[in-house]
Amino acid sequence: MGLLAAIAAVPAVAQPLPGDFVFLREVDPSIQQDIRYAGANNFMGRRIEGYDGAECIVKRAVGLALREVQRGLRAQNLSLKMLDCYRPARASRDMVAWAQDGRETAAERRYNPGFSKQELFRLGYIAERSGHSTGAAVDLTLVDLAAPRGPAFDPGKAYADCTAPAALRAPEASVDMGTGYDCSDAKAHTASRAISPQQRRWRETLNAAMSRQGFVNYAKEWWHFSRPGMSGLSAYDFPVPRHRGD
Catalytic residues: 221
β-pairing, 78-84 vs 32-33, is parallel
Between β-strands 216-218 and 78-84, what pairing exists: parallel, antiparallel or unpaired? unpaired
Q: Residue 93 is which amino acid?
A: R
SS3 breakdown of the chain: % helix, strand, coil, rounded to 5?
30, 15, 55
Sign of the C-alpha dihedral, residues 79, 152, 183, 25? positive
Other CB atoms within 10 Å distance of the CB of residue 5: 8
Q: What's the chain's length in residues?
A: 246
User: Binding residue per annotation — 224?
Assistant: yes
If we measure between CA atoms, which residue out of 51, 52, 53, 58 comes closest to residue 31? 58
Binding residues: 132, 139, 224
Binding residues for Zn(2+): 132, 139, 224
